[in-house]
């Protein structure tokens, strides 16, 4: 039976296979950290973890390459935990089940972890292979990138010595990224005194599923539906038509993943519950969304059914204010870069909504490659939830990575790519947040480029990696290391 360990190049795929066997969702990295530390030490290389849990491994230059500029190979060890609703999987305990599907590798009902496991596997292959030609190498494998880039933020500036940073966390082979968006988390919280539900009221549970979700930076421009936004429309309509009352809401679970599912529990008077089913509102809303997202979302479902009556619900005035704010807040693409009209400049993702037990909590990730637009977007989001009298705070802010089109390593890599593959690589700025912006601010003067194999739909169970692109990506990495200029 063919497994991913038999794919080419085997020295990369064997390491990726090993990573899939180690549970490594953000916040649960002890096992993968020990695995990486053991790997480096077994190779006899200087290996250590810093105070933030990043792993650093140093490999000396090969003979004759000692004067080349030091290169930092950088990736992150954590992965986004997302799964299909009917998939039984515990990301803190269970390995990822990989599937070879034609020219692609995917997982069985979960995220694959190719973001950024493929980059880490390539770093491991370079460290292990003593036949390669390269200058001094430092591997930097950061912790908790997906939940807030905490490893990059916590790295001490004098930890690394390299002058070139190759970030292996991009998702399109043949593209070289030299800039990225900055980000900012916006969190709105409200604590309220719940009201008791009436014994005669009917509780209905609504479940919205089947959305594509995906990466809130890379795929925000594709017009995919946001489960929290759709649920806000539905809940608002239930309030308007049937005077329903909101008791609970759960939608999304990752700040940088477009939410795929949301559920809400609402209270109806018996006659209004009957009218809801007579009117077939759920079917009506679903048909509307299927029409609006035709060609984008093919598997939307919205179910409605009786639920056990919760004892408490939101006060009417609080409910109306919070639902109105959810309807009003911006979600999705806001603006594109004027000089690069195919690249999103500014966007937001209504990522997580939690309502119940006397607390409403809303988390949004705002992105922009323009700091003033990021500040404007954050201010407008804060104003939106201020109007609902929610407590709003911003956190985790980081600036974008500004492109340097005169980068020496970029020139080397463009030449190398032409020589290897006979085509010109595309030089781009990516709307996703890369750690380059943070690391570049900590170590001024770093010459940086980000690249990687071709991935699709990271941060969702549809995540997959294109098998032929992995060989091209790794061959290009090896050739780049051999051509790094002298210091």
Q: What is the mean pLDDT of residues 317-339?
A: 96
Q: What is the mean pLDDT of residues 52-78?
A: 97
Total count of domains within the chain: 2
Closest CA to 378 of 392, 390, 391: 392
Report CA torsion sign: 294, 305, 310, 234: positive
Q: Where are the alpha helices (DSSP H) in 360-407?
A: 371-386
pLDDT tens sequence across 423-442: 999 999 999 889 998 999 89
**192 & 241 share domain:** yes
Question: How many CB atoms lie under 10 A from the CB of residue 436?
Answer: 25
**119 & 84 share domain:** yes
Distance CA 110, CA 145 (A): 19
Looking at the predicted structure, is the pLDDT value of residue 399 above 90? no
Distance CA 188, CA 353 (A): 10
pLDDT tens sequence across 372-388: 999 999 999 999 999 99
Catalytic residue selected from 78, 144, 185, 345: 78
Looking at the predicted structure, is the pLDDT value of residue 340 above 90? no
Q: What is the mean pLDDT of residues 274-296?
A: 97
Among 398, 413, 442, the domain-final residue is 398
CATH of residue 322's domain is: 3.30.70.360
Q: What is the mean pLDDT of residues 54-75?
A: 97
Structural contact between residues 250 and 228, judged by C-beta atoms closer than 8 angstroms: no
- Confidence at 487, pLDDT banded by 50, 70, 90: confident
Q: What is the mean pLDDT of residues 290-297?
A: 97
Report CA torsion sign: 434, 103, 124, 110: positive
- Confidence at 148, pLDDT banded by 50, 70, 90: confident
Among 374, 398, 422, the domain-final residue is 398
Q: Which residues pair with 188 in a beta bridge?
A: 362, 392
Looking at the predicted structure, is the pLDDT value of residue 338 above 90? no
Looking at the predicted structure, is the pLDDT value of residue 183 above 70? yes
**247 & 346 share domain:** yes
Closest CA to 470 of 453, 487, 484, 447: 453
**166 & 282 share domain:** no
Distance CA 338, CA 139 (A): 36
Q: Which residues pair with 155 in a beta bridge?
A: none
Catalytic residue selected from 115, 144, 145, 345: 145
425 is written with which tokens? 């690589």
**409 & 372 share domain:** no
**223 & 170 share domain:** no
Q: Residue 31 domain-assigned? A: yes
Distance CA 204, CA 274 (A): 11
Q: Residue 342 domain-assigned? A: yes
Q: Residue 487 domain-assigned? A: no
Q: Residue 196 domain-assigned? A: yes
Burial classification of residue 269, based on how many CB atoms lie within 10 Å of its CB (0-12 exposed, 13-18 middle, 19 or more buried): middle
Question: Kindly report the CA angle at 348 between 381 and 256, in degrees rounded to 5?
Answer: 125
Q: Residue 443 domain-assigned? A: yes
Q: Residue 424 domain-assigned? A: yes
pLDDT tens sequence across 206-259: 999 999 999 999 899 999 999 999 999 999 999 999 999 999 999 998 899 999
Distance CA 463, CA 214 (A): 8
**What is the Cβ-side half-sphere exposure of residue 393, based on CA atoms within 13 angstroms?**
6
Among 398, 421, 449, the domain-final residue is 398
**131 & 216 share domain:** no
Q: Which residue has the higher pLDDT, 393 or 339?
A: 393
- Model pLDDT, residue 2: 79
Q: Is 78 a catalytic residue?
A: yes
Looking at the predicted structure, is the pLDDT value of residue 143 above 70? yes
Where are the extended beta strands (E) located within 369-485?
391-398, 426-430, 447-450, 455-456, 464-466
- Confidence at 1, pLDDT banded by 50, 70, 90: low
**474 & 348 share domain:** no
Counted residue by residue, the chain has a size of 487
Domain interval for residue 215: 184-398
Q: Residue 76 domain-assigned? A: yes
Q: Residue 103 domain-assigned? A: yes
**59 & 20 share domain:** yes
- Confidence at 85, pLDDT banded by 50, 70, 90: confident
**393 & 417 share domain:** no
Mean pLDDT of the chain: 96
Q: Is 145 a catalytic residue?
A: yes
Structural contact between residues 169 and 152, judged by C-beta atoms closer than 8 angstroms: no
**151 & 41 share domain:** yes
Residue 174 neighbours by CB under 8 Å, 6+ apart: 417, 421, 423, 425, 426, 472
Residue 412 neighbours by CB under 8 Å, 6+ apart: 480, 483, 484, 485
**152 & 194 share domain:** no
Structural contact between residues 90 and 109, judged by C-beta atoms closer than 8 angstroms: no
Structural contact between residues 181 and 88, judged by C-beta atoms closer than 8 angstroms: no
- Peptide bond just before 116 cis, omega within 30 deg: yes
Distance CA 123, CA 16 (A): 11
Looking at the predicted structure, is the pLDDT value of residue 398 above 90? no
CATH of residue 416's domain is: 3.40.630.10
The H or E element that residue 173 is part of is none
Taking the whole predicted model, whether its pTM rises above 0.85 is answered as no
Question: How many CB atoms lie under 10 A from the CB of residue 200?
Answer: 8
């Amino acid at each position: 039976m063919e497994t991913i360990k038999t794919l080419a190049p085997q020295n990369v795929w064997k390491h990726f296979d090993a990573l899939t066997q180690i549970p490594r969702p953000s916040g649960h990295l002890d096992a993968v950290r020990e695995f990486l530390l053991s790997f480096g030490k077994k190779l006899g290389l200087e290996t250590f973890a810093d105070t933030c849990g990043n792993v650093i491994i140093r490999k000396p230059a090969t003979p004759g390459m000692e004067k080349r500029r030091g290169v930092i190979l950088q990736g992150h060890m954590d992965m986004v935990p997302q799964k299909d609703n009917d998939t039984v999987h515990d990301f803190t305990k269970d390995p990822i089940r990989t599937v070879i599907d034609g020219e692609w590798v995917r997982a069985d009902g979960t995220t694959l972890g190719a973001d950024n496991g493929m980059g880490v596997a390539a770093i491991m292959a370079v460290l292990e292979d003593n036949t390669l030609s390269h200058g001094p190498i430092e591997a930097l494998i950061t912790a908790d990138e997906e939940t807030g880039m905490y490893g990059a933020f916590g790295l001490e500036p004098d930890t690394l010595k390299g002058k070139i940073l190759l970030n292996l966390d991009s998702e399109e082979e043949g593209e070289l990224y030299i800039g990225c968006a900055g980000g900012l988390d916006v969190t709105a919280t409200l604590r309220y005194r719940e009201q008791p539900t009436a014994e005669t009221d009917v509780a209905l549970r609504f479940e919205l599923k089947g959305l594509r979700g995906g990466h809130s930076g890379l795929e925000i421009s594709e017009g995919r539906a946001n489960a929290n936004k759709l649920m806000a429309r539905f809940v608002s309509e239930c309030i308007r038509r049937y005077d329903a009352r909101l008791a609970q809401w759960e939608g999304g679970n990752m700040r940088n993943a477009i939410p795929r599912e949301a559920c809400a529990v609402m209270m109806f008077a018996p006659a209004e519950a009957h009218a809801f089913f007579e009117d077939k509102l759920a079917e009506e809303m679903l048909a509307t969304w299927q029409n609006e997202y035709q060609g984008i979302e093919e598997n939307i479902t919205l179910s409605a059914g009786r639920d056990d009556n919760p004892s408490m619900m939101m006060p009417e005035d609080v409910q109306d204010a919070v639902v109105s704010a959810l309807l009003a807040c911006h979600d999705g693409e806001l603006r594109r870069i004027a000089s690069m009209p195919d690249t999103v400049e500014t966007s937001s993702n209504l990522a997580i909504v939690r309502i119940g037990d006397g607390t409403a909590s809303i988390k949004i990730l705002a992105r922009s490659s323009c700091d003033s637009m990021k500040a404007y977007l954050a201010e407008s989001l804060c104003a939106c939830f201020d109007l609902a009298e929610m407590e709003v705070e911003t956190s985790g802010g980081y600036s974008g990575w500004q492109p340097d089109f005169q980068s020496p390593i970029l020139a080397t890599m463009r030449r190398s790519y032409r020589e290897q593959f006979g085509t010109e690589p595309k030089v781009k700025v990516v709307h996703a947040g890369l750690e380059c912006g943070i690391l570049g601010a900590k170590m001024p003067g770093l010459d940086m480029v980000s690249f990687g194999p071709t991935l699709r739909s990271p941060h969702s169970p549809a995540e997959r990696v294109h098998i032929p692109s992995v060989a091209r990506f790794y061959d290009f990495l090896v050739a780049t290391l051999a051509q790094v200029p002298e210091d």
